Amino acid sequence: MIEKIQAVLNEIQSLTAKDEKELESLRIKYLGKKGIVNEMMAEFRSVPAEQKRAIGMQLNELKNSLQEKINGMREELSHQHESEIEQLDLTRSPYPIRLGTRHPLSIVKNEIIDIFSRMGFLLADGPEVEDDWHVFSSMNFAPDHPARDMQDTFFIEQHPDIILRTHTSSVQSRVMESTQPPIKVICPGRVYRNEAISSRAHCFFHQVEGLYVDKDVTFADLKQALLTFSREMFSADTKIRLRPSYFPFTEPSAEMDISCNICGGKGCSLCKNTGWVEILGCGMVDPNVLEANGIDSKIYNGYAFGMGVERIANLKYQVKDLRLFSENDVRFLDEFTAAN
Protein backbone atom coordinates (compact mmCIF):
# COMPACT_ATOMS: atom_id res chain seq x y z
CA MET A 1 0.00 0.00 0.00
CA ILE A 2 2.89 2.28 0.79
CA GLU A 3 4.03 1.97 -2.82
CA LYS A 4 0.57 2.80 -4.13
CA ILE A 5 0.49 5.94 -2.00
CA GLN A 6 3.96 6.89 -3.15
CA ALA A 7 2.97 6.45 -6.79
CA VAL A 8 0.02 8.81 -6.44
CA LEU A 9 2.16 11.31 -4.51
CA ASN A 10 4.58 11.33 -7.44
CA GLU A 11 1.73 11.86 -9.92
CA ILE A 12 0.49 14.94 -8.10
CA GLN A 13 3.32 17.20 -9.29
CA SER A 14 2.56 16.66 -12.94
CA LEU A 15 -1.21 17.25 -12.74
CA THR A 16 -2.54 20.00 -15.01
CA ALA A 17 -5.98 21.37 -15.92
CA LYS A 18 -6.64 23.92 -18.64
CA ASP A 19 -10.09 24.86 -17.41
CA GLU A 20 -12.55 24.45 -14.56
CA LYS A 21 -14.07 21.40 -16.16
CA GLU A 22 -10.80 19.50 -16.31
CA LEU A 23 -9.99 20.53 -12.77
CA GLU A 24 -13.31 19.24 -11.52
CA SER A 25 -12.80 15.86 -13.14
CA LEU A 26 -9.35 15.64 -11.51
CA ARG A 27 -10.92 16.46 -8.17
CA ILE A 28 -13.52 13.72 -8.65
CA LYS A 29 -10.89 11.26 -9.78
CA TYR A 30 -8.74 11.73 -6.66
CA LEU A 31 -10.91 13.22 -3.95
CA GLY A 32 -14.45 12.32 -5.04
CA LYS A 33 -16.70 9.90 -3.16
CA LYS A 34 -15.53 7.01 -5.27
CA GLY A 35 -12.12 8.57 -5.87
CA ILE A 36 -8.68 7.10 -5.39
CA VAL A 37 -8.20 8.50 -1.87
CA ASN A 38 -11.48 7.09 -0.58
CA GLU A 39 -10.66 3.76 -2.20
CA MET A 40 -7.42 3.75 -0.23
CA MET A 41 -9.25 4.67 2.94
CA ALA A 42 -11.38 1.55 2.49
CA GLU A 43 -8.28 -0.52 1.94
CA PHE A 44 -6.71 1.09 5.02
CA ARG A 45 -9.28 -0.64 7.23
CA SER A 46 -7.71 -3.99 6.49
CA VAL A 47 -4.11 -2.83 7.14
CA PRO A 48 -2.52 -4.75 10.06
CA ALA A 49 -2.57 -2.76 13.32
CA GLU A 50 1.18 -2.34 13.58
CA GLN A 51 1.35 -0.62 10.16
CA LYS A 52 -1.70 1.58 10.68
CA ARG A 53 0.18 4.53 12.10
CA ALA A 54 2.80 4.79 9.36
CA ILE A 55 0.33 4.24 6.49
CA GLY A 56 -2.25 6.50 8.10
CA MET A 57 0.25 9.36 8.19
CA GLN A 58 1.13 8.79 4.53
CA LEU A 59 -2.49 8.65 3.55
CA ASN A 60 -3.15 11.95 5.31
CA GLU A 61 -0.19 13.50 3.57
CA LEU A 62 -1.52 12.32 0.23
CA LYS A 63 -4.96 13.74 0.91
CA ASN A 64 -3.55 17.12 1.98
CA SER A 65 -1.18 17.33 -0.96
CA LEU A 66 -3.98 16.58 -3.37
CA GLN A 67 -6.23 19.16 -1.77
CA GLU A 68 -3.46 21.75 -1.86
CA LYS A 69 -2.61 21.01 -5.48
CA ILE A 70 -6.21 21.28 -6.59
CA ASN A 71 -6.75 24.53 -4.65
CA GLY A 72 -3.59 25.93 -6.21
CA MET A 73 -4.74 25.02 -9.70
CA ARG A 74 -8.16 26.58 -9.05
CA GLU A 75 -6.53 29.83 -7.99
CA GLU A 76 -4.37 29.89 -11.10
CA LEU A 77 -7.35 29.33 -13.37
CA SER A 78 -9.28 32.19 -11.79
CA HIS A 79 -6.33 34.58 -12.40
CA GLN A 80 -6.19 33.46 -15.97
CA HIS A 81 -9.89 34.24 -16.25
CA GLU A 82 -9.35 37.70 -14.79
CA SER A 83 -6.71 38.55 -17.34
CA GLU A 84 -9.06 37.41 -20.08
CA ILE A 85 -11.68 39.81 -18.75
CA GLU A 86 -9.12 42.61 -18.75
CA GLN A 87 -8.69 42.13 -22.49
CA LEU A 88 -12.40 42.65 -23.14
CA ASP A 89 -13.30 46.05 -24.63
CA LEU A 90 -16.16 47.09 -22.42
CA THR A 91 -16.80 50.19 -24.54
CA ARG A 92 -17.89 48.05 -27.46
CA SER A 93 -21.56 48.06 -28.27
CA PRO A 94 -23.22 44.87 -26.98
CA TYR A 95 -25.26 44.51 -30.18
CA PRO A 96 -24.26 45.02 -33.82
CA ILE A 97 -24.54 48.66 -34.87
CA ARG A 98 -27.23 49.09 -37.51
CA LEU A 99 -25.96 50.98 -40.52
CA GLY A 100 -28.51 53.22 -42.18
CA THR A 101 -29.34 53.01 -45.86
CA ARG A 102 -29.60 55.84 -48.32
CA HIS A 103 -33.07 57.09 -49.13
CA PRO A 104 -34.17 55.83 -52.56
CA LEU A 105 -34.66 59.42 -53.75
CA SER A 106 -31.10 60.25 -52.71
CA ILE A 107 -29.81 57.18 -54.52
CA VAL A 108 -31.58 58.23 -57.72
CA LYS A 109 -30.68 61.90 -57.33
CA ASN A 110 -27.00 61.00 -56.86
CA GLU A 111 -27.11 58.81 -59.93
CA ILE A 112 -28.61 61.64 -62.00
CA ILE A 113 -25.94 64.03 -60.69
CA ASP A 114 -23.21 61.49 -61.51
CA ILE A 115 -24.35 61.06 -65.08
CA PHE A 116 -24.66 64.76 -65.84
CA SER A 117 -21.39 65.51 -64.04
CA ARG A 118 -19.66 63.22 -66.50
CA MET A 119 -21.14 65.39 -69.28
CA GLY A 120 -19.63 68.51 -67.71
CA PHE A 121 -22.62 69.87 -65.77
CA LEU A 122 -21.88 71.64 -62.47
CA LEU A 123 -24.21 71.68 -59.45
CA ALA A 124 -26.29 74.72 -58.58
CA ASP A 125 -29.04 75.37 -56.08
CA GLY A 126 -31.46 78.02 -54.92
CA PRO A 127 -34.01 78.62 -52.15
CA GLU A 128 -37.20 76.60 -51.70
CA VAL A 129 -38.98 79.70 -50.38
CA GLU A 130 -38.79 81.90 -53.46
CA ASP A 131 -40.26 85.05 -54.87
CA ASP A 132 -42.65 85.32 -57.77
CA TRP A 133 -39.92 86.81 -59.99
CA HIS A 134 -37.61 83.80 -59.93
CA VAL A 135 -40.35 81.16 -60.12
CA PHE A 136 -42.64 82.81 -62.67
CA SER A 137 -41.97 86.32 -64.04
CA SER A 138 -38.31 85.85 -64.98
CA MET A 139 -39.25 82.51 -66.52
CA ASN A 140 -41.57 84.23 -68.98
CA PHE A 141 -44.89 83.65 -67.22
CA ALA A 142 -46.93 86.86 -67.92
CA PRO A 143 -48.72 88.23 -64.82
CA ASP A 144 -52.09 87.00 -66.00
CA HIS A 145 -50.76 84.18 -68.13
CA PRO A 146 -52.88 81.05 -67.76
CA ALA A 147 -49.65 79.05 -67.52
CA ARG A 148 -49.44 80.20 -63.90
CA ASP A 149 -52.45 77.97 -63.29
CA MET A 150 -50.52 74.99 -64.64
CA GLN A 151 -48.93 74.73 -61.24
CA ASP A 152 -50.93 75.08 -58.04
CA THR A 153 -48.85 77.32 -55.88
CA PHE A 154 -48.54 77.70 -52.10
CA PHE A 155 -48.52 81.42 -51.29
CA ILE A 156 -47.45 83.03 -48.04
CA GLU A 157 -50.64 84.74 -46.79
CA GLN A 158 -49.10 87.97 -45.54
CA HIS A 159 -46.77 88.19 -48.50
CA PRO A 160 -48.29 87.11 -51.82
CA ASP A 161 -44.97 87.73 -53.56
CA ILE A 162 -43.28 84.99 -51.52
CA ILE A 163 -44.12 81.45 -52.53
CA LEU A 164 -42.86 77.88 -52.18
CA ARG A 165 -41.18 77.19 -55.50
CA THR A 166 -43.29 75.01 -57.77
CA HIS A 167 -40.37 73.91 -59.92
CA THR A 168 -36.58 73.99 -59.89
CA SER A 169 -36.68 76.17 -63.03
CA SER A 170 -36.37 79.09 -60.58
CA VAL A 171 -32.73 78.04 -60.11
CA GLN A 172 -32.14 78.66 -63.84
CA SER A 173 -32.99 82.29 -63.16
CA ARG A 174 -30.81 82.39 -60.00
CA VAL A 175 -27.82 81.08 -61.95
CA MET A 176 -28.27 83.29 -65.04
CA GLU A 177 -28.67 86.50 -63.04
CA SER A 178 -25.29 85.92 -61.40
CA THR A 179 -23.26 84.18 -64.12
CA GLN A 180 -22.43 84.91 -67.74
CA PRO A 181 -22.28 81.99 -70.25
CA PRO A 182 -21.03 79.43 -70.77
CA ILE A 183 -23.40 78.01 -68.16
CA LYS A 184 -23.83 74.27 -67.75
CA VAL A 185 -25.60 73.35 -64.53
CA ILE A 186 -27.97 70.86 -62.98
CA CYS A 187 -30.07 71.86 -60.00
CA PRO A 188 -31.57 69.13 -57.84
CA GLY A 189 -34.13 70.20 -55.26
CA ARG A 190 -37.50 69.94 -53.58
CA VAL A 191 -40.56 71.65 -55.03
CA TYR A 192 -44.07 72.24 -53.66
CA ARG A 193 -47.53 72.20 -55.17
CA ASN A 194 -50.92 72.66 -53.64
CA GLU A 195 -52.22 69.18 -54.37
CA ALA A 196 -54.28 66.75 -52.35
CA ILE A 197 -52.01 63.97 -51.13
CA SER A 198 -52.69 60.57 -52.65
CA SER A 199 -50.74 57.58 -53.89
CA ARG A 200 -50.12 59.45 -57.16
CA ALA A 201 -49.65 63.06 -56.06
CA HIS A 202 -48.01 64.85 -53.18
CA CYS A 203 -47.73 68.44 -52.02
CA PHE A 204 -43.96 68.19 -52.34
CA PHE A 205 -41.66 66.22 -54.59
CA HIS A 206 -38.22 66.48 -56.14
CA GLN A 207 -36.88 67.65 -59.47
CA VAL A 208 -33.58 67.97 -61.24
CA GLU A 209 -33.32 70.95 -63.56
CA GLY A 210 -30.72 71.25 -66.29
CA LEU A 211 -29.53 74.38 -68.10
CA TYR A 212 -26.95 74.83 -70.80
CA VAL A 213 -26.34 78.31 -72.22
CA ASP A 214 -23.55 79.03 -74.69
CA LYS A 215 -23.03 80.11 -78.30
CA ASP A 216 -24.64 77.95 -80.99
CA VAL A 217 -26.38 75.42 -78.78
CA THR A 218 -28.72 73.24 -80.85
CA PHE A 219 -31.74 71.07 -80.28
CA ALA A 220 -29.58 68.15 -81.42
CA ASP A 221 -27.24 68.85 -78.48
CA LEU A 222 -30.23 68.66 -76.15
CA LYS A 223 -31.44 65.44 -77.68
CA GLN A 224 -28.02 63.82 -77.49
CA ALA A 225 -27.55 64.80 -73.83
CA LEU A 226 -30.96 63.37 -72.94
CA LEU A 227 -30.36 60.17 -74.90
CA THR A 228 -27.03 59.67 -73.15
CA PHE A 229 -28.67 60.31 -69.80
CA SER A 230 -31.52 57.86 -70.48
CA ARG A 231 -29.19 55.09 -71.55
CA GLU A 232 -26.91 55.56 -68.55
CA MET A 233 -29.82 55.77 -66.13
CA PHE A 234 -31.85 52.86 -67.45
CA SER A 235 -30.22 50.59 -70.00
CA ALA A 236 -28.06 50.85 -73.11
CA ASP A 237 -30.97 49.94 -75.38
CA THR A 238 -33.37 52.57 -73.99
CA LYS A 239 -35.07 54.59 -76.73
CA ILE A 240 -36.30 58.16 -76.37
CA ARG A 241 -39.15 60.01 -78.07
CA LEU A 242 -39.73 63.77 -78.04
CA ARG A 243 -43.28 65.12 -78.34
CA PRO A 244 -44.05 68.81 -78.99
CA SER A 245 -45.34 70.54 -75.85
CA TYR A 246 -45.61 73.93 -74.24
CA PHE A 247 -43.69 75.58 -71.42
CA PRO A 248 -43.48 79.37 -71.05
CA PHE A 249 -39.67 79.29 -70.60
CA THR A 250 -38.74 77.20 -73.65
CA GLU A 251 -39.41 77.57 -77.37
CA PRO A 252 -39.73 75.09 -78.94
CA SER A 253 -40.73 72.87 -75.99
CA ALA A 254 -41.00 69.12 -75.78
CA GLU A 255 -41.85 66.31 -73.43
CA MET A 256 -39.64 63.29 -73.52
CA ASP A 257 -40.71 59.67 -73.18
CA ILE A 258 -38.43 56.68 -72.77
CA SER A 259 -39.26 53.17 -73.94
CA CYS A 260 -40.84 51.50 -70.92
CA ASN A 261 -38.05 49.83 -68.99
CA ILE A 262 -40.44 47.50 -67.20
CA CYS A 263 -41.96 45.74 -70.23
CA GLY A 264 -39.26 46.70 -72.71
CA GLY A 265 -41.83 48.58 -74.82
CA LYS A 266 -44.30 45.71 -75.20
CA GLY A 267 -46.94 47.40 -73.05
CA CYS A 268 -47.73 47.00 -69.35
CA SER A 269 -49.73 48.71 -66.62
CA LEU A 270 -46.90 51.14 -65.86
CA CYS A 271 -46.80 52.49 -69.41
CA LYS A 272 -50.56 52.08 -69.77
CA ASN A 273 -49.91 49.68 -72.62
CA THR A 274 -48.27 52.34 -74.77
CA GLY A 275 -44.69 51.09 -74.38
CA TRP A 276 -43.57 54.63 -73.49
CA VAL A 277 -43.30 56.59 -70.25
CA GLU A 278 -42.87 60.33 -69.92
CA ILE A 279 -39.90 61.36 -67.79
CA LEU A 280 -39.18 65.02 -68.43
CA GLY A 281 -39.93 68.37 -70.04
CA CYS A 282 -37.37 70.23 -72.09
CA GLY A 283 -36.74 72.74 -74.85
CA MET A 284 -34.61 75.58 -76.15
CA VAL A 285 -34.43 78.43 -73.64
CA ASP A 286 -36.87 81.18 -74.71
CA PRO A 287 -34.90 84.35 -75.62
CA ASN A 288 -37.22 86.29 -73.28
CA VAL A 289 -35.87 84.21 -70.38
CA LEU A 290 -32.27 84.96 -71.33
CA GLU A 291 -33.01 88.69 -71.59
CA ALA A 292 -35.00 88.81 -68.32
CA ASN A 293 -31.98 87.30 -66.58
CA GLY A 294 -29.34 89.58 -68.05
CA ILE A 295 -28.01 87.42 -70.90
CA ASP A 296 -27.77 88.76 -74.45
CA SER A 297 -30.02 86.52 -76.55
CA LYS A 298 -28.40 87.79 -79.77
CA ILE A 299 -25.12 86.18 -78.74
CA TYR A 300 -26.23 83.24 -76.64
CA ASN A 301 -28.82 80.53 -76.70
CA GLY A 302 -29.35 77.34 -74.78
CA TYR A 303 -31.40 74.35 -73.77
CA ALA A 304 -33.10 73.38 -70.53
CA PHE A 305 -34.82 70.36 -69.08
CA GLY A 306 -36.54 69.36 -65.88
CA MET A 307 -37.35 65.90 -64.54
CA GLY A 308 -39.12 64.46 -61.50
CA VAL A 309 -36.90 62.35 -59.24
CA GLU A 310 -39.86 60.35 -57.83
CA ARG A 311 -40.87 59.50 -61.39
CA ILE A 312 -37.48 58.07 -62.19
CA ALA A 313 -37.29 56.27 -58.83
CA ASN A 314 -40.67 54.69 -59.62
CA LEU A 315 -39.38 53.43 -62.93
CA LYS A 316 -36.30 52.00 -61.29
CA TYR A 317 -37.94 50.53 -58.20
CA GLN A 318 -41.64 50.38 -59.10
CA VAL A 319 -42.84 52.04 -55.94
CA LYS A 320 -46.62 51.99 -56.16
CA ASP A 321 -47.41 54.69 -53.62
CA LEU A 322 -45.70 58.10 -53.69
CA ARG A 323 -46.38 58.60 -49.99
CA LEU A 324 -43.85 55.88 -49.11
CA PHE A 325 -41.07 58.27 -50.11
CA SER A 326 -41.88 60.66 -47.27
CA GLU A 327 -43.25 58.45 -44.50
CA ASN A 328 -39.82 57.27 -43.33
CA ASP A 329 -41.00 53.75 -42.64
CA VAL A 330 -37.77 51.83 -42.05
CA ARG A 331 -39.29 48.65 -43.48
CA PHE A 332 -39.51 50.49 -46.81
CA LEU A 333 -36.22 52.37 -46.49
CA ASP A 334 -34.28 49.21 -45.57
CA GLU A 335 -35.04 47.77 -48.98
CA PHE A 336 -32.66 50.18 -50.65
CA THR A 337 -28.91 49.93 -50.59
CA ALA A 338 -26.45 51.57 -52.89
CA ALA A 339 -22.74 51.85 -53.09
CA ASN A 340 -22.85 55.65 -53.26
Residue among 102, 107, 114, 300 nearest 218 (CA) = 300
As a whole number of angstroms, the distance between CA 38 and CA 32 comes to 7
Shortest reach from residue 207's CB to ligand DAH, in Å: 6
Shortest reach from residue 251's CB to ligand DAH, in Å: 10
Nearer to ligand DAH, 250 or 261 (CB): 250
As a whole number of angstroms, the distance between CA 273 and CA 22 comes to 75
Nearer to ligand DAH, 271 or 285 (CB): 285
Nearer to ligand DAH, 181 or 336 (CB): 181
Shortest reach from residue 136's CB to ligand DAH, in Å: 11
Point out which residues bind ligand DAH (CB under 6 A).
167, 169, 209, 247, 250, 281-283, 304-306
Nearer to ligand DAH, 304 or 309 (CB): 304
Q: Which amino acid is at 141?
A: F
Torsion sign over Cα 222, 223, 229, 230: positive
Shortest reach from residue 123's CB to ligand DAH, in Å: 16
Neighbours of 43 (CB within 10 A): 13
Nearer to ligand DAH, 107 or 285 (CB): 285
Is residue 115 within 8 Å of residue 109, measured between CB atoms?
Answer: no
How deeply is 118 buried, as exposed, middle or buried, from its count of CB atoms within 10 A (0-12, 13-18, 19+)?
exposed
Radius of gyration (C-alpha) of the chain in whole angstroms: 41
Sheet holding 159-164, edge to edge: 129-131, 159-164, 155-156
**Residue 307: helix, strand or coil by DSSP?**
strand
Nearer to ligand DAH, 70 or 208 (CB): 208
Shortest reach from residue 330's CB to ligand DAH, in Å: 31
Is residue 332 within 8 Å of residue 326, measured between CB atoms?
Answer: no
DSSP element (H, E) containing 237? none
Shortest reach from residue 94's CB to ligand DAH, in Å: 50
Nearer to ligand DAH, 176 or 304 (CB): 304
Residue 201, CA atoms < 13 Å, CB-side half-sphere = 9
